[in-house]
């Protein structure tokens, strides 16, 4: 019985891979973020036997070439050879996949992108991430970072125009002006602070936007414009059939509609219908994607 995990900063969700390829979620436990031994014990306690493989979706960067993970909000995994250490500690095969890649794989295999050639799944939440699946195959790319469109210093406030009033937002990757820094939920809060000098949560901003509050509308418009500009370049580059969205902001249908309209207005192809849409696995893409990856890696037929 292959056990699958979705490991985030707060919780470890887990479940067993079913014969039909889905994962039946069986529970969640708090992530022991600071204690490696407690982390290993938590994983072990969620497995049904002592030798079957496990598959992990990890909310952080994972480099398959080195086996090292970078997970800032789970210190006991950060900058550690997680794959080797886990295989040794648990004495069983371990598969690790980045959570955005897991989500994209789930969407392309059994979600909004099923049967489509190019699926670019994106995460809009506390950060901005993404995963690319072409012809059913996850594109990992050099260093395993394909799809990570959130980083790169593309927001330049000195450009003026619609960027007037914004600031140089520092990003966790060490650069300034990344989409991750400006267009995540935290980014929306930073833009609001820049434009209106008020520190409020993204939830409060979008609620006020729904109520036609002018300040919130200005913030959301600027935020969505920046996001759509970056996304439009990717759309022209990759030619996705669909862009399923996961993450906390995916639950706001009006926000996704706004991004969809703005993005499609900037791209060369005429889609004639929605391109950016909430993913079928917006709430459990990590776990389901870990299951699909496990089926491909650990079963002979991949079916
Ligand atoms: Zn960055």
Please give the Cα distance from 123 to 184 (Å, whole number): 9
Task: Say which CATH number the domain at 77 has.
Answer: 3.30.420.40
Residues 135 and 208 in one domain: yes
Judge whether 211 lies within some domain: yes
Residues 22 and 160 in one domain: no
Strand, helix or coil at 76? coil
Judge whether 107 lies within some domain: no
Residues 258 and 141 in one domain: yes
- Cβ atoms of 102 and 57 within 8 Å: the answer is yes
Residues 167 and 245 in one domain: yes
Judge whether 106 lies within some domain: no
Distance 90 CA to ligand 1 centre (A): 34
Q: pTM higher than 0.85, yes or no?
A: yes
Distance 10 CA to ligand 1 centre (A): 22
Distance 175 CA to ligand 1 centre (A): 5
Residues 14 and 150 in one domain: no
Residues 144 and 231 in one domain: yes
Residues 172 and 236 in one domain: yes
Judge whether 250 lies within some domain: yes
Residues 138 and 87 in one domain: no
Residues 124 and 94 in one domain: no
Judge whether 186 lies within some domain: yes
Distance 79 CA to ligand 1 centre (A): 17
Distance 174 CA to ligand 1 centre (A): 6
Pairing outcome for strands 3-7 and 54-58: parallel
Q: Which domain holds residue 23?
A: 3-101+283-298
202-240 burial: b if 16+ Cβ within 10 Å, else e: beebbebbeeeeebbebbbebbbbbbbbbbbebbeebeb
Residues 185 and 231 in one domain: yes
Strand, helix or coil at 298? helix
193, 230, 234, 270, 301 from 266: Cα distances, Å: 27, 10, 11, 10, 42
Report how many domains make up the chain: 2
Distance 44 CA to ligand 1 centre (A): 34
Residues 89 and 195 in one domain: no
Q: Could you list the pLDDT tens digit for every one of the 303 residues in the chain?
A: 899 999 999 999 999 999 988 999 999 999 999 999 999 999 999 998 888 999 999 998 888 888 899 888 899 999 999 999 999 999 999 999 999 999 999 999 999 999 999 999 999 998 999 999 999 999 999 888 899 999 999 888 888 777 888 999 999 889 999 999 999 999 999 999 999 999 999 999 999 999 999 999 999 999 999 999 999 999 999 999 999 999 999 999 999 999 999 999 999 999 999 999 999 999 999 999 999 999 999 875 544
Distance 198 CA to ligand 1 centre (A): 24
Residues 179 and 192 in one domain: yes
- Cβ atoms of 6 and 284 within 8 Å: the answer is yes
Please give the Cα distance from 286 to 97 (Å, whole number): 9
Distance 229 CA to ligand 1 centre (A): 16
Distance 71 CA to ligand 1 centre (A): 14
Distance 264 CA to ligand 1 centre (A): 25
Distance 182 CA to ligand 1 centre (A): 10
């Amino acid at each position: 019985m292959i056990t699958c995990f979705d490991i985030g900063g707060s919780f470890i969700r887990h479940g067993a891979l079913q014969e039909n390829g889905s994962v039946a979620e069986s529970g969640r436990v708090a992530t022991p973020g600071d204690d490696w031994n407690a982390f290993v014990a938590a994983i072990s306690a969620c497995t049904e036997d002592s030798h079957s493989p496990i598959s992990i979706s990890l909310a952080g960067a994972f480099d398959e070439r080195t086996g090292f993970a970078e997970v800032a909000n789970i210190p006991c995994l950060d900058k550690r050879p997680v794959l080797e250490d886990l295989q040794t500690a648990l004495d069983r095969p371990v598969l690790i996949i980045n959570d955005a890649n897991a989500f994209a794989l789930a969407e392309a295999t059994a979600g909004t992108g099923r049967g489509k050639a190019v699926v670019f799944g994106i995460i809009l939440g506390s950060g901005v991430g993404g995963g690319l699946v072409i012809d059913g195959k996850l594109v990992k790319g050099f260093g395993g970072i394909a799809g990570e469109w959130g980083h790169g210093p593309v927001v330049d406030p000195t450009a003026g125009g619609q960027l007037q009033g914004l600031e140089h937002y520092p990003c966790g990757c060490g650069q300034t002006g990344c989409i991750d820094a400006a267009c995540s939920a935290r980014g929306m809060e930073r833009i609001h602070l820049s434009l209106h000098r008020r520190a409020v949560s993204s939830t409060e901003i979008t609620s006020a936007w729904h109520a036609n509050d002018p300040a919130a509308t200005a913030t959301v418009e600027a935020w969505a414009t920046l996001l759509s500009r970056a996304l439009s370049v990717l759309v022209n580059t990759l030619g996705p059939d669909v862009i399923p969205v996961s993450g906390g902001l995916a639950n706001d249908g009006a926000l996704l509609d706004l991004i969809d309209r703005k993005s499609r207005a900037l791209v060369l192809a005429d889609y004639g219908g929605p391109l950016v849409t909430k993913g079928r696995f917006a709430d459990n893409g990590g776990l389901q994607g870990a299951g699909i990856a496990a089926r491909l890696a650990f079963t002979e037929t991949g079916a």
